[in-house]
Structure formats: structure tokens, C-alpha cells
Amino acid sequence: MSRAVIFFLLVIASGLSLVLALLGLETLSKNLLGWGLLVIGIVYPAGVIIFYCFLKKSFWEVNGKAIQQETGDRSFWAILPGMLAAFFAPPLEFMYLAWLPHAVWLQVVGLTLAILGVLLHLWARSAIKGMYSGHVEVTADQKLVTSGPYSYIRHPSYASLLLMALGVAVGYGSVIGMAAVPLLLLPGLAYRINVEENLLRDCFGDEFRSYARRVKKLVPGTW
């Protein structure tokens, strides 16, 4: 992983998380999603402090030596604009533009999607255990995980991000957020998936090809 990405994850992302928490705090009296942003905005920097500063662990890296990896972390930068637009634009739009009505049913639908996204993410992290990484790489002792959520879609972690982003956009009634998901976030994730699958195909060969024929990328039975 490049130094620029590490700096971003440690410093800039922590600062952005606190801004997200403030946006959640500012909107929680009028929108249920404010609680979600507040929690996410506090949990991330707290995790950085606990893992990196006290436990001395690089929480974005896996154990084991990488035998193949993406150079330059281009896929990380590819998904970043979509992530920023999808999570920061909705509360700002809610506060200052409000193109769509602040309907309670939108908040309920959005919160439901966001919670489903969080649960899917936790399920995926549990299934791959210590192999989760913020960097696209394959290690010497890595195994191809096809159980749990990976038996339904090949990239449940990325699907969870889409669900959470869509949930925030819908919950805040954000036109910008809803547009950012298909126009910015999804293309960025599609690029990262392509990079990741090229490495997996090179590493696992026919095992991965057979798995890819059985299981779709992001939407069960569809795509």
C-alpha cells in the first residue's frame, strides 16, 4: 500500500469521519440517518486510535507476504470520489437545498438499506476473517472464500458499500447522493472489482473461473 493511501486512511479519513459525525449531529433531530452518520463518524477514528496507536496493528493490511498486488492503488482513488459524494452530499443537501420532501418513509427506507449494508459488511468480514485488506493483493497463504455471503455474490463488501451509500442518499432524500451512486461510486467499484478479479484469476486459475461462473458479482442471479 502506498504512503499516500496510508496517510489518507490515518489522517485525512479520520478528519473526514469527524466532519461526517458533525453532519450527523446537526441533522439527527430531523432525520433518523443522522444517528448513523454520527456513529460511523466516531467509530472510524476511534478504531484508528485503538488499532494503530495502541495495538500497533495496521488495520488495513492482512497477515502474510503479498505475492501479487495492485501497484499505485489506483482502484482506491477510483472509488474515493463516489464515497465522498455519496456520504457527504446527502446531509449537506438535506440542510441547505432540500429538493425532495423530508418524508419519514424515505428515512425509514434509507435507514433500512443502510442497516442491511452494515450487516452484510460485518457478515463478509466474518467470512474472510483475517484476509480483509484495504489494499488489493493476494498473499501466499490466501484461500478463495466461497462460503457465507460469498456463496451468493462474489463481492459482498462492495455490495454493502453500495447499500449503505444508497441508504444515506434515500434517507436524506438527496438527488445528488442518488446520482452519485450509479455515476461515481458504481464505476469506481467496478474498476476495483476488475483489478481484484484479475489477481484472483491469476492466482487461483480454474478454481476462481468456476466460482465466477456460478456466482454473480454484486447482485444475486443478475450481475
Q: pLDDT band for position 6 (50/70/90)? A: confident
Query: What stretch of H or E contains 161?
Result: helix 156-171
Q: Give me the mean pLDDT over the 136-159 stretch.
A: 92
Q: Give the whole-angstrom CA distance, residue 27 versus residue 204.
A: 47
pLDDT of res. 62: 63
d(CA 110, CA 98): 16
Cβ(118)–Cβ(160) below 8 Å: yes
pLDDT at site 56: 62
What's the half-sphere exposure (Cβ side, CA atoms, 13 Å) at 142? 27
Report in angstroms the alpha-carbon separations of 180 from 110, 188, 206: 15, 11, 36
Is the pLDDT score of 54 beyond 90?
no
| CATH class, range 3-214 | mainly alpha
How far is the CA of 44 from the CAs of 31, 73, 159, in angstroms? Answer: 21, 21, 20
CA distance 92 to 175: 11
* Side chain identity at residue 149, one-letter code: P
Output 64 or 185, whichever has higher pLDDT.
Answer: 185
Type of residue numbered 139: T
pLDDT at residue 95, rounded to an integer: 93
- At residue 69 the predicted structure's pLDDT band, cuts being 50, 70 and 90, is confident
Q: What is the DSSP letter of 56?
A: -
Burial of 185 (0-12, 13-18, 19+ CB in 10 A): buried
Higher local confidence (pLDDT), 7 or 117: 117
Residue-wise burial string across 124-139, b where 16 or more C-beta atoms lie within 10 A, e elsewhere: bbebbeebebbbbbbb
Residues 6 or more apart whose CB falls under 8 angstroms from that of 140 comprise: 64, 65, 67
What one-letter code names the amino acid at 177? G
pLDDT in tens, 93-112: 999 987 777 889 999 999 99
Using pLDDT thresholds of 50, 70 and 90, give the confidence band for residue 154: very high
Q: Residue 138 pLDDT more than 70? A: yes
- Which pLDDT score, from 0 to 100, does residue 60 have? 59
The domain spans of the chain are 3-214
pLDDT at residue 132, rounded to an integer: 75
Cβ-based burial of 152 (10 A; exposed 0-12, middle 13-18, buried ≥19): middle
Q: What is the pLDDT of residue 17?
A: 95
